[in-house]
Structure 1
């Protein structure tokens, strides 16, 4: 399984609270509403850093992890008409497309106490 991690920054003029709300309440449901989500995506996670005393301010406003079984599934999802016409246009409404950092990894869970 391949894990695609996207580090994103909110658009100028949008508060952290507005960004989190938009990401969770609008964009994530839009993403999961297209049939290609059911067909190709194995797992979809959105995370938003929180401020903790004595920790540096996070450089990104969100981390989105999307898991696919293969590069073919990744390509099919992101090239699909539904993604291109419905989901992708919404991204610029809340994050800076030109500042996205992408990382592809092969995740290996070492410990997960929730699974025992």
Structure 2
């Protein structure tokens, strides 16, 4: 599978709560409505907890930048599926509509995105019995 990872920062005029509400309750259903045209197999939103105290020591120990407000992950079966979306008028229109909506709540210039493949190191449900 090929995955698009999109690390999101909200527009400055939005609170974290406003951003997450719009993303979950407006943009999420919009993405779902285009899943066939875009050949998307899976879509996951990861929302930040917004708990500065919980993350402060972790960020400080690594010299990390300001945290993201969330991460979006979209999955496709293959690179060919992604390329087919670009050739399909319905796929291109879906991309246009989604980008137009993203401009309403995401600071696009501060939100990196890239295609990638996962390499699972610890599987769900796996336990260690080392002694």
Structure 2: distance between partners of 1:75 and 1:10: 28
| SS of corresponding position for 1:41 | coil
Rg larger in structure: 2
CA RMSD of aligned residues (A): 2.2
Give the TM-score, by structure 1 length.
0.82
Query: Is the CA contact 1:10–1:95 (under 8 Å) kept in the aligned structure 2?
Result: yes
Higher-strand-fraction structure: 1
Which SS does the other structure have where 2:48 is aligned? coil
Q: Give 1:78 shift.
A: 5.8
Shifted more, 67-76 versus 9-18: the winner is 67-76
- Unpaired runs of 5+ in structure 2? 60-65, 127-131
Q: Which residue of 1 aligns with 2:43?
A: 44
Question: How many residue pairs were aligned?
Answer: 112
Matched residues in 1 for 2:76 and 2:67: separation? 26
Q: TM-score, normalised by structure 2?
A: 0.74
Alpha-carbon separation, structure 1, partners of 2:95 and 2:74: 17
Ranges of 4+ aligned residues in structure 1 off by more than 4 Å: none
Unaligned 5+ residue runs, structure 1? none
Instruction: Verify the 8 A CA contact 1:44 1:65 in the aligned structure 2.
Output: yes
Q: In structure 2, what is the equivalent of residue 82 of structure 1?
A: 93
